[in-house]
Chain A
Amino acid sequence: MEKWSLMTITVLLALTVRWTVSLGSYSGAGKPPMYGDYEAQRHWQEVTYNLPIRQWYFNTSDNNLLYWGLDYPPLTAYHSFLCAYVAKLINPDWIALHTSRGYESQSHKLFMRTTVFVADLLIYIPAVILYCCSLKETSTKKKVSSALCILLYPGLILIDHGHFQYNSVSLGFALWGVLCLSYDWDLLGSAAFCLALNYKQMELYHSLPFFCYLLGKCFKKGLKGKGLLLLIKLAGTVVASFAVCWLPFCTDVEQIMQDKVANIWCSLSVLIKIKNVVSPQTQLKLSFAVTFLSLLPTCIKLTVQPSLRGFKLTLVSCALSFFLFSFQVHEKSILLVSVPVCLIINEVPFMATWFLLVSTFSMLPLLLKDGLLLPYAVTTLAFLSACVASFAIFEKTSAKDLQLKPFSQSLRGYVSWFKLFPKIVRSLFLLSVTLMGVLSVMSAAVHPPQRFPDLFPVSVSSISCLHFLFFLVYFNVIILWDSKNSRNQKKVS
């Protein structure tokens, strides 16, 4: 079969899954007074359509910021405005100022779901398809199966089309950025990334690798000649794109934990009540220091040796560091790590699949709250079977397949059990999948004991956190030892 028909089938399959998930419940359905993200998005449409642009971000008599105030950068606001315009054409009640608060109906749900669907179809999906087509040294089949696995990633589908958010827009723009960089269109790439940043400030997780990669590229060209020119151009692009869509916004320092998030602070709080030990200011400094330290090695490496492969891997490790160590993290932020992981799914299929499964699992408490258990179970199983079928992940667990060859070579003198390595990795994977499965079933079916009402959410987040730490170490090892390897190769040649 031809490539285009396989790709078409992949896209259709992805769209079908998205739409079926969207038939389910959404966050805060029928839960006054605050409802959930669905109401937040609807409220933003109401605000942006009815109020002048200057009042969008300010507390006025018509705009109560305590009720889902607009707390995303301007591009989100423009998107809401656009949606509101369409909504007005269909049914003005949906966005009527004040009176539409908490509006819910089947046709409105259909409309909201369609807006997410369209945004996904226009921005995220084309980026994924083009990215997979641009993969080098891979067969058509591998390209198609990468596209299938990336598009079927349950986390993003469940959050966007189930829970209700527009992550696919910002992540899609970031993907466009990566795509352009891989074609050496640096200016276009940085512009695309600026759009992503201006859609959601959370994209800052990805900013360091972008910055380091482009900076490294400039260094490589020589900072006096072409490199400087490129740097100036890049800076100009960034400033210009920000100027186009920027409006001031500010966020208050919120509590360190919004919910039971699978990051290190939350897991530690099981043992020590951090809140009681240190003040919020110290927490902020502490988390900043730890994040910075964990980022440093990979970022330096990327600046010194800018390569596309290194760039993708650094995207993963940086976002993961941010997610694990930074202040005030949402569990949905794991998507910012997952999408870069999707990009390397054809290089380290086993680890990528594992990570993507864990990341979906880490959002389980949220999904349960939204009543998305069934879509969660179904899409996760479908994703797992798609990955197993298209990458044969269980046969790719040797040190070489996991890109750990250089690392194992450097350790050979000390450790002798490397022969058993593939088996150990495989059984660890099976163990972790079983554990996740059991916990999912228990969270869904068993009532927690009265003494520990948060038993399941806490154990879900601790287990996910352990996994993420393990993955952080793994990705850092690949990145750092990869450079050594290439140096060795250079020496040999």
Chain B
Amino acid sequence: MCGLSAGARNGGRRLELELVPRPGARRLLPQVPPHPHVTFCSHSTDFEVHRNWLAITHNLPLSQWYYEATSEWTLDYPPFFAWFEYALSHIAKYFDPKMLVIENLNYTSPATIFFQRFSVIFTDLLFIYAVRECCRCVNGKRAAKDILEKPTFILAVLLMWNFGLLIVDHIHFQYNGFLFGLMLLSVARLCQKRYLEGALLFAVLLHFKHIYVYVAPAYGIYLLRSYCFTASNADGSAKWRSFSFLRITLLGLIVCLVSALSLGPFIVLGQLPQVISRLFPFKRGLCHAYWAPNFWALYSAVDKALTVIGLKYNFLDPTKIPKASMTGGLVQEFQHTVLPSVTPLATLICTFISILPSVFCLWFKPQGPRGFLQCLVLCALSSFMFGWHVHEKAILLAILPLSLLSVQRAKDAGIYLILTTTGHFSLFPLLFTAPELPIKILLMLLFSVYSFSSLKSLYRREKPLLNWLETIYLIHLVPLEIFCEIVFPLTPWKLRFPFVPLLLTSVYCAVGIMYAWLKLYISVLSERTSARQKAE
């Protein structure tokens, strides 16, 4: 059954190949750049980022990897990812050796694009395997006759046809597929009680892409609580005597070994500070060029609104207002005008505080894999809400694990629908060229129609998944999209306020994601008390 959906996914994945121009595709007009891809599909910067990394790792010795700065897109992923690029570069040289020249900035050739796209599709095999493992963990108590209504089937489709992952990886271009594959695989291993394997996979994952450190608290606490403590008291609290030193040593050993393998060479070379400074560039602004729909987007929007009001009623002195516009398109530092400006430390504290309750919940009332997953999603969402310089793509970190929960309980399914729809909608600005407009809308509709109808049929006997307010909110995404993509470009404001569609999208989505986050938090915390009452 999973095979079937895997095939379906492959079908979907293959389609993305069409975005790659065929070798020999003719240049269209003399004045356009030599490559159709450049003109026809948006050529995301991430494409050049990864090409540059291929070149760096291929040509330079290890000691130069984190110092090389010919391109502005310096290597800012942990060492395992660099090694991954190094391995890829040895295949890439058979496709087009010119892409491996560091000075060849913005180099694209049909062979390069084919290779890059195909490498994403190929590494996605790991993701497919991970999805299969995850489907095994979902209890199939609900014996539906129709394969289309089995929770495992629905989960497989929800994960593999995930709109966000499809567009970010296969159209925009990134390697999230196999990274999320690693994460889901580690989750599956934890669910199967193969804790050491799960820990190992997660440690490896952290050294591939450090954004996953956001969910590390969930892993740490869960492993500590469920693996290192071998028994619990009757009320669910940990039995201190059952603490196993052997197990915690094993876990520590795994983490240390993986870190040594990854960072060891750089420690020996004495480059650790340099690596760290590349990995955590706090010099970037609070928000990305396009505001990720999080708390800071709302905060900045309120600040902007207050500025406009203040200027209108002369509360503010126009000469004192900095001119930098936040959505100017470049990553830049930004001063709030009315509200206090936010420092990296403040965001760190906010993130920490918002994660804390979920972690406490996991510790004091462990509920097995379910509780772990809830905590994982909450960690990801909380850090998305309050993190420094969050990318809109980071919402996938919450959406994918939440898929696992959504097929198990109606309450989570409702939250999932709100979060995916708004989260995916907020990814729309990633694809901004005209030929991509139908694709993103069609894929989004495809995923939304499937997720709504399949989850609705799964919880047919229970009360509706969404209440009227949520339904109205989600339906209004349609007019918003029509306004942003079709109506606004025709109005005269297009030139004076080009950032309005982005601002509207990000603020509107921020409301929905904030709501989903709060709802999930409330459901998790209240579940804890009700469970305790049951225990009493």
**Interface residues of A, Cβ cutoff 8 Å to B:** 1-2, 5-6, 8-9, 12-13, 15-17, 19-21, 23-25, 29-31, 104-107, 109-110, 117, 371-375, 378, 381-382, 385-386, 389
Contacts and interface: CB of A to CB of B under 8 A. Distances in A.
A24 B16 CA distance: 11
B32 interface: yes
B421 interface: no
Contacts of B368: none
B143 interface: no
B438 interface: yes
A23 B434 CA distance: 11
Contacts of B36: 25
B4 A106 contact: no
Nearest to B171: A20
Q: Is the interface of A mostly helix, strand, loop or mixed?
A: helix
A1 B19 contact: no
Interface stretch (B7-15, B128-136, B351-359, B472-480): B7-15
B438 A19 contact: yes
A389 B453 contact: no
B18 A1 contact: no
Contact of A2 (B18, B29, B443, B453): B453
A20 B15 contact: yes
A374 B22 contact: yes
B459 interface: no
20 contacts: A1-B149, A2-B453, A9-B449, A15-B438, A16-B15, A20-B18, A25-B22, A25-B36, A31-B26, A106-B40, A106-B435, A110-B434, A371-B22, A372-B22, A373-B22, A374-B22, A375-B18, A385-B7, A385-B11, A386-B11
A264 B510 CA distance: 64
Given A13-B446, A25-B22, A378 B14 contact: yes
A23 B40 CA distance: 8
B318 to A, nearest CB: 41
Nearest to B19: A23
B20 A2 contact: no
A127 to B, nearest CB: 20
B348 interface: no
A25 B21 contact: yes
B193 to A, nearest CB: 33
Contact of A1 (B434, B439, B457): B457
Given A23-B19, A23-B435, A385-B7, 6 more contacts: A29-B28, A104-B29, A106-B40, A371-B26, A378-B17, A382-B14
B21 A382 contact: no
B22 A20 contact: no
B457 to A, nearest CB: 5
Contact of A12 (B15, B17, B148, B449): B449
A356 B27 CA distance: 33
Given A19-B439, A105-B29, A107-B434, A378 B7 contact: no
Contacts, number: 104
Nearest to B41: A23
A144 B21 CA distance: 32
Contact of A30 (B17, B26, B39): B26
A389 B22 contact: no
B492 interface: no
B11 A382 contact: yes
5 nearest A-B pairs in the assembled complex, by CB-CB distance: A30-B26, A5-B453, A20-B18, A382-B11, A378-B14
A125 to B, nearest CB: 13
Nearest to A21: B18
A2 B460 CA distance: 11
B450 A9 contact: yes
B445 A20 contact: no
By CB atoms of chain A within 10 A, which of B14, B18, B25, B449 has the most? B18
Contacts of B457: 1-2
Contact of A106 (B18, B26, B28, B443): B28
B29 A5 contact: no
A104 B450 CA distance: 38
A30 B30 CA distance: 10
Nearest to A25: B25
Contacts of A1: 148-149, 453-454, 457
Interface residues of B, number: 41
B443 A378 contact: no
Contacts of A20: 15-16, 18-19, 439
Contacts of B450: 5, 9
A94 B476 CA distance: 37
Contact of B25 (A109, A117, A371): A371
B445 A12 contact: yes
B24 interface: yes
B239 to A, nearest CB: 46
Contacts of B27: 30
Contacts of B32: 105-106
Interface string B432-472: 00110011001101100110111001000000000000000
B17 A19 contact: no
B4 A389 contact: yes
Nearest to A30: B26
B26 A378 contact: no
A29 B25 contact: yes
By CB atoms of chain A within 10 A, which of B22, B29, B41, B454 has the most? B22
A6 B454 CA distance: 10
A372 to B, nearest CB: 7
A106 B445 contact: no
B144 to A, nearest CB: 11
Contacts of A107: 434
Nearest to A382: B11
Contacts of A5: 449-450, 452-453
A389 B148 CA distance: 13
A371 B25 CA distance: 6
A110 B25 contact: no
Nearest to B16: A20
Contacts of B18: 20-21, 23-24, 374-375, 378
Nearest to B27: A30
B28 A30 contact: yes
B468 to A, nearest CB: 21
Nearest to B32: A106
B25 A381 contact: no
Contacts of A6: 148, 453
Contacts of A9: 446, 449-450, 453
Contacts of B435: 23, 106, 110
Nearest to B443: A16
By CB atoms of chain A within 10 A, which of B32, B149, B450 has the most? B450
B8 to A, nearest CB: 8
B142 to A, nearest CB: 15
A374 B20 contact: yes
A20 B15 CA distance: 7
Contacts of A373: 22
By CB atoms of chain A within 10 A, which of B4, B10, B449 has the most? B449
Contacts of A389: 4, 7-8
B206 to A, nearest CB: 35
A8 B442 CA distance: 11
A404 B25 CA distance: 46
B442 A25 contact: no
A310 B249 CA distance: 76
Contacts of A31: 26
A220 B24 CA distance: 59
Given A9-B449, A372-B22, A382-B14, A105 B28 contact: yes
Contacts of B7: 385, 389
A8 B40 CA distance: 28
Given A15-B442, A20-B15, A25-B22, A104 B28 contact: yes
Contacts of B149: 1
A365 B25 CA distance: 16
Interface in B11-65: 11, 14-22, 24-29, 32, 36, 39-41
A16 B453 CA distance: 19
A12 B442 contact: yes
B453 A371 contact: no
A8 B22 CA distance: 31
